Amino acid sequence: MSLRRRIASSPAVVAAVNGRARTGEDELRAAIAGKTVVVTGASYGIGEATARRLAGAGATVVLVARTAERLEELAAELGPRAHTYACDLTDEDAVGDLALRLLFEHGPPDVLVNNAGKSIRRSIADSTDRFHDFQRTIGVNYLGPVQLTLALLPAMRERRAGHLVNISTSGVRGLPPSPGWSAYQASKAAFDVWSRCVAQEVRPDGVASTSIYFGLVRTRMSAPNFATIPGMSPEDAAALVCDAIVRRPRTAGPSWVGLADVITSGLMRGTTERVMTRAFVRNERARAARRERGA
Ligand SMILES: NC(=O)c1ccc[n+]([C@@H]2O[C@H](COP(=O)([O-])OP(=O)(O)OC[C@H]3O[C@@H](n4cnc5c(N)ncnc54)[C@H](OP(=O)(O)O)[C@@H]3O)[C@@H](O)[C@H]2O)c1
């Protein structure tokens, strides 16, 4: 393994870059035991690890994703407090049915973790005949969670309790919009802004909202990219989600995100964009050369 990779995967570096959770098992159990938490995207990655941690602390977990077999396997492992709902969040009818079933079978959730997501890294030159990339990402990263939240929110407000958790990315807050990520980042930004608008309307009714801006988490989604960037494990990410569920801050994520946002999107936006453009052009040229060599 190269030195850069070794440094990027060292636990101390990963924790320094991404932050460390503060909530212990007893505190989590006291906050969440007996409560109902809906986790979308629970079949893999951050959602799966979050569901495991919450179920372990005594929560009833409602697992949503498309891959029914993965959800069934997880539920079998977690025991009778886990319930599975196979659903494609880009399918409007399916999400409508899901919301009705959730309300009927479990009542309003105490926590809704909008975690399911899809990322695409593709230059705009390679996207000209791929409008579906933009439809897919906006479907799962924005429209699906909006539809689900709209359906569950009235009952949460009426009960004057609940917590919306949005799993967002440092590509939305912390780092500036990046070349190659237009479909993903625009759809994540849409849900981030939507959540922050809604948060202000529902807070007086006792419903909290938290946006978590993760850096790199080593999951199926991020696997093809960023081997030399310090990424956290899904379990460490889940611990930060649990922190947010217990403490209910408006925003959460690595400590560098706030300062980086001020610098890269404000004070040094021009310089940042120039550096990113140069890196992108260099990468694209290298990729084209590799393609030409047939590598
Ligand atoms: N990994 C990172 O570095 C990183 C960084 C910042 C933010 N995030 C965010 O973290 C969240 C989780 O990502 P991850 O890294 O854990 O990725 P992952 O391992 O690929 O998991 C994504 C989850 O979303 C579900 N999903 C995808 N499309 C869906 C659809 N149409 N309907 C229902 N469920 C769908 C997947 O399940 P099925 O395939 O079974 O449907 C899976 O459970 C995403 O919102 C992502 O944007 C990730």
Residue whose CA lies nearest to ligand 1 atom number 6: 169
Amino acid occupying residue 179: P
CA of 118 to the centre of ligand 1 (A): 5
Q: What is the DSSP secondary-structure string of 148-215? A: HHHHHHHHHHHHT-EEEEEEEETTTTTS---TT-HHHHHHHHHHHHHHHHHHHHHGGGTEEEEEEEE-
Catalytic residue numbers?
184
Task: Give the Å distance between the CA of 203 and the centre of ligand 1.
Answer: 27
Residue 187 in contact with ligand 1 by CB distance below 6 A: no
Q: Is the CB of residue 166 below 6 angstroms from any atom belonging to ligand 1?
A: no
Q: Please state, in angstroms and rounded to a whole number, the distance separating the CA atoms of residues 273 and 237.
A: 28
Distance CA 143, CA 90 (A): 7
Q: Which two tokens stand for residue 228?
A: 């030399």
Q: What is the pLDDT of residue 30?
A: 97
- In angstroms, the first-to-last Cα distance of the chain is 21
Q: What is the pLDDT of residue 19?
A: 75
Q: What angle do CA 174, 164, 100 make, to 5 degrees?
A: 135
Whether the predicted pLDDT of 17 surpasses 80: no
Residues 6+ apart with CB under 8 A from 140: 89, 90, 116, 117, 118, 187
Mean pLDDT of 59-82: 98
Q: What is the pLDDT of residue 222?
A: 85
Return the minimum-mean-pLDDT range out of 80-84, 142-146, 227-231, 254-258.
Answer: 227-231
pLDDT at 295 over 70: no
Beta bridge partners of 112: 38, 164
Strand order in the sheet with 111-114: 82-86, 60-65, 36-40, 111-114, 162-169, 207-214, 251-252
Give distance in angstroms: CA of 281 to centre of ligand 1: 28
Q: Using the atom order of ligand 1, give the atom closest to the CA of residue 136.
A: 31
Contact 66 CB / ligand 1 (< 6 Å):
yes
Tell me the pLDDT tens digit for each residue of 20-33: 788 999 999 999 99
Between the CA of 214 and the centroid of ligand 1 the distance, in Å, is 13
CB burial class (10 A; 0-12, 13-18, 19+) of residue 282? exposed
**Residue 258 bridge partners (DSSP):** none
| Mean pLDDT to the nearest integer, 277-282 | 89
pTM higher than 0.85: yes
42: CA distance to ligand 1 center in Å? Answer: 8
Shortest-distance Cα residue to atom 38 of ligand 1:
66
Chain segment 205-248, per-residue pLDDT in tens: 999 999 999 999 999 988 766 767 788 999 999 999 999 999 99
Q: Is the CB of 142 under 6 A from ligand 1?
A: no
Q: Which CATH architecture has domain 3-256?
A: 3-Layer(aba) Sandwich (3.40)
267 pLDDT higher than 80 = yes
User: 């906006």: which residue's tokens?
Assistant: 138
Any atom of ligand 1 within 6 Å of the Cβ of 43: yes
Mean pLDDT within 43-55: 98
Using CA atoms, how far apart are residues 232 and 21, in angstroms rounded to an integer? 12
> How many residues comprise the chain?
295
In this predicted structure, what is the pLDDT of residue 266? 83
Average pLDDT of the chain, as a whole number: 93
Q: For 165-218, what is each residue's pLDDT tens digit?
A: 999 999 999 888 899 999 999 999 999 999 999 999 999 999 999 999 999 999
Name the residue of 38, 53, 66, 85 to mutate for ligand 1: max ligand atoms within 8 A of Cβ. Answer: 66
Is there an atom of ligand 1 within 6 Å of 67 CB? yes
Phi-psi group of 24: left, alpha or beta (phi > 0 → left; psi -120 to 50 → alpha; rest → beta): beta
pLDDT tens, 96-136?
Answer: 999 999 999 999 999 999 999 999 999 999 999 999 999 99
